[in-house]
Structure 1
């Protein structure tokens, strides 16, 4: 609070009228206007602020409560941000913060990674802090993340079990190559065939490659390629820029004799807009994947040298339709009408990387996301 103390004495008339003060406070709340705050008693300022709060219909949509909820994993549900609670008792500079808290949060330690409880929780898709074609990660914690393949750092390789340092290094490198080919390749993201990713998988692993190819050829509910590959329908959406934000971890351990097991847990953030000409509304689809991949010694196992076998894979999708029809992810946009499959699952923060993915997926219900 930086309103200036009143210089009036008891019994004197206020230095400005109610109308003038109310006009100033409105301008401050809307981020407009400039100049010094009028000298008014704090009690009187509170009275006017209370009157403004009671005139809720006069506020710009989403200014105080945020837009209404939408389907998520599915669509982001906006919630009231901390800035709105500051009300209209602040001077112009701070009133802007009340509406655009990221102007301050971005310069605090942690930047956009400020915990959800301390940052604006309203979805940025439909606010002044939201993504644009020129700034597709604005308002997102992912803005401070590393991007693309460079974000996937490999741990230092050391021998484990009876597998050499060279074996471990190869397993880690192949795992990164698969993550990049399956989730970052521009052609794959535009709905193309993930041939590079498929070529890294062991053809001698029963069913794995045939099932993956079948899901690409004839996708259905039981055979969905997005379980392994991030693909968007090019007739529906197009990427905004070339940058994908990435954050995650990769670890390894000895598997059974003659095997090294690599576990990768990564979150990818994709800004997209509609494919139609002139579209400028930006949405962010968020995908978190966990893979457990094996590199096996061909002298001990039925395996192809240098190829990966898949022990397990899981994926969670946020701010996309609950139904991934046609083998594609379908990002949600704020203006999209509700579908016949309303969200039934819990609220989820797609940027939460502390919760194990298995717990996020528990129940597999389509829920709502707290931010994008």
Structure 2
């Protein structure tokens, strides 16, 4: 079909019932439907009105319905075939090109996709810790969360101590570990009030610890007792600290009840207020301690509800070797250098098969992983 003059765009069609049935199976474009609506509202004047004369009673109604369908569907079909001629036939025809008329869409070649392609996001190493997955790539994924990792053995009576006394001693050690390693306020530099309140008032080193925790002259030995981060430099990521370890009990050579605890705490940290894409790292603190419940005529009895620490060791992985000030000082992968000397021996902070090395306190080792 051409676009010229007043040519009837329907001149080449035979509007029989087969054509109508075929046309009703397709729906025209939005432009065609608009033109069909205009046709229904303002149809062109026919040469001889088809309403003239009395309407026969037999089957006339169905014929009228068929004719109306033919008019609407034919216009849709014809417009889809030659939009330019139909535009001119309905009026408003002009020489405007498809490029100038936003209602005329150019012919589409090939298939169109429903969603435009989007460049893929930069791949992230699945073993790299993030705020959403702070334990990625770490054995700590299999550790228990928070206090659930501090499992206790069944309490049974031992010589000189009832099952109830053993149970109380185990529970006190668990509370001590929570207060010194999981209490959120204390972890972020607050006073470890609950921890201090559990210690026997006569505990060796208690006064020195209290002084270190309540003044600005931070004693490097404070981390031997409690885990603390500097809130001005790091924040904990998420609400979970991963915990793995064991608690046991026995009587020592003097017949005193001793509780032994050996636990690793894995802390995910990031710089404060650093956003969802922040660099995340972890620090691992392994604590080994023995507590003794003294009783009998040879010793001053341990007060009820208190703990006496007879021995403790700590191993802190991923903390600056150059800043020994009573805080755990994590180092991040995106910062320049590191405090571990070049060529330093490396250790695996998740290897719990070996005891803590106490022969070289303060020795700075590299890490196989964190």
State the TM-score, normalizing by the size of structure 2: 0.62
Compute the displacement of 1:342 (Å).
2.2
Q: Is the 1:344–1:365 Cα contact (8 Å) retained in structure 2?
A: no
Residue-by-residue CA offset, 1:202-258 (whole Å, 9 max, x unaligned):
0023x3321211221347686521111111000000110010000001111113556
Map of 2:212 onto structure 1: 215
Q: Is the 2:218–2:326 Cα contact (8 Å) retained in structure 1?
A: no
SS at match of 1:261: strand
Q: Is the 1:162–1:257 Cα contact (8 Å) retained in structure 2?
A: no
Q: How many angstroms apart in 1 are the aligned matches of 2:339 and 2:267? A: 25
Compute the displacement of 1:167 (Å).
1.3
Q: How many angstroms apart in 2 are the aligned matches of 1:284 and 1:291? A: 23
Compute the displacement of 1:271 (Å).
0.3
Compute the displacement of 1:338 (Å).
2.4
CA 1:223–1:270 in structure 2 vs 1: closer, same or farther (change >3 Å)? closer
Q: How many angstroms apart in 1 are the aligned matches of 2:322 and 2:205? A: 23
The one of 232, 237, 240 equivalent to 2:237 is 240
> 2:133 aligned with 1:135, yes or no?
yes
Map of 1:193 onto structure 2: 191
Residue-by-residue CA offset, 1:296-347 (whole Å, 9 max, x unaligned):
2276532322311111111011112114443211111012222566266421
Q: Structure 1 stretch 281-290 or stretch 252-261: which is displaced more?
A: 252-261
Map of 2:266 onto structure 1: 269
Q: How many angstroms apart in 1 are the aligned matches of 2:343 and 2:287? A: 22
Residue-by-residue CA offset, 1:142-168 (whole Å, 9 max, x unaligned):
011111101111111112221221111
Q: Is the 2:321–2:339 Cα contact (8 Å) retained in structure 1?
A: no
Q: How many angstroms apart in 1 are the aligned matches of 2:179 and 2:242? A: 15
Q: How many angstroms apart in 2 are the aligned matches of 1:291 and 1:328? A: 19
Residue pairs, 1:56-205, within 5 angstroms: 127-205=125-203
State the TM-score, normalizing by the size of structure 1: 0.61
Map of 2:55 onto structure 1: none
Higher RCO by CA contacts (8 Å cutoff, separation 6 or greater): 1
Residue-by-residue CA offset, 1:34-82 (whole Å, 9 max, x unaligned):
xxxxxxxxxxxxxxxxxxxxxxxxxxxxxxxxxxxxxxxxxxxxxxxxx
Compute the displacement of 1:277 (Å).
4.0
Q: How many angstroms apart in 2 are the aligned matches of 1:232 and 1:213? A: 17
SS at match of 1:246: strand
Bigger radius of gyration among the two? 2
Query: How many residues align structurally?
Result: 246
> 2:330 aligned with 1:331, yes or no?
yes
Q: CA RMSD in A?
A: 2.4
Q: Is the 1:344–1:366 Cα contact (8 Å) retained in structure 2?
A: no
